[in-house]
Structure 1
Amino acid sequence: MLNLASFHLPENEIDFKAVRAQGPGGQNVNKLATAIQLRFDISASSLPDAVKQRLLMTADSRISNDGVLVIKAQSHRTQERNRAEALERLELLLESVRRAPKARKKTRPSKAAKAKRVDEKKKRGELKKARAKPY
């Protein structure tokens, strides 16, 4: 059982796969599979339905069309540290969608605010008129 951002996820819901890292790193990168690919099936998870919907609605390129989140961590030299980093990224993503965003209340400008805006526009227009060359 993993405790991620106030969610308790069973370990069997998160799939880890060791893959070879990309980029510079010499022999270590070329011969060892130190990068970790974390796969998390959102729709099959035990997350609350509201959280699943918010997670699927995010415009995150790491979420496939099938609803599977794929996080690749490869910045460290060991699998353990990359695994911890991948879990940390998952936790940050889950924390960002944990609460529903506040609904925006429609408001209208007051009469005083409208009058102030019109007065400022008139003053600005007068200033520009004063700059014009007389004929």
Structure 2
Amino acid sequence: MARKGRKQKKEEDLLRKEEENLQKEIEKLFNCINCLGKDRNHNRYWFFRREGRLFVETLDSSKWGYYSTKEEDSMRERDLKRHLEKCYMKISTALQKRSKDVAQKALVEEGELRRSTRVRDKPRFNPAMAFLRYVNRWRED
């Protein structure tokens, strides 16, 4: 009986770990479809992980704004604050990642970021350009 109990416990542990891994994968793919909440002016707050910004939509949906750094967001409403606190780590890491990406892009545009040009691949054969290899071998002398 002790063996059955151990075996069953191992199976339960495996199932629990598998479920935790699935939850982590779901969190990675998390994309806020529902509104995070509203402030006192009924502006709606949205977070899209791919964008890495916290967006604000006006009541009549005519204007959109966003927070792009952690220092910019100051929330006043209790419900919104609670919901944002739940998502705080995800939002703050996405904001930091986005600001790093923007800085990296700025360096590339300014030409300050060095890229290695020492190694170059040989051009690959492209079947669409095969006509360039044609040689007329049949000549009349």
TM-score above 0.5: no
Whose radius of gyration is greater, 1 or 2?
2
Per the normalisation by structure 2, the TM-score is: 0.24
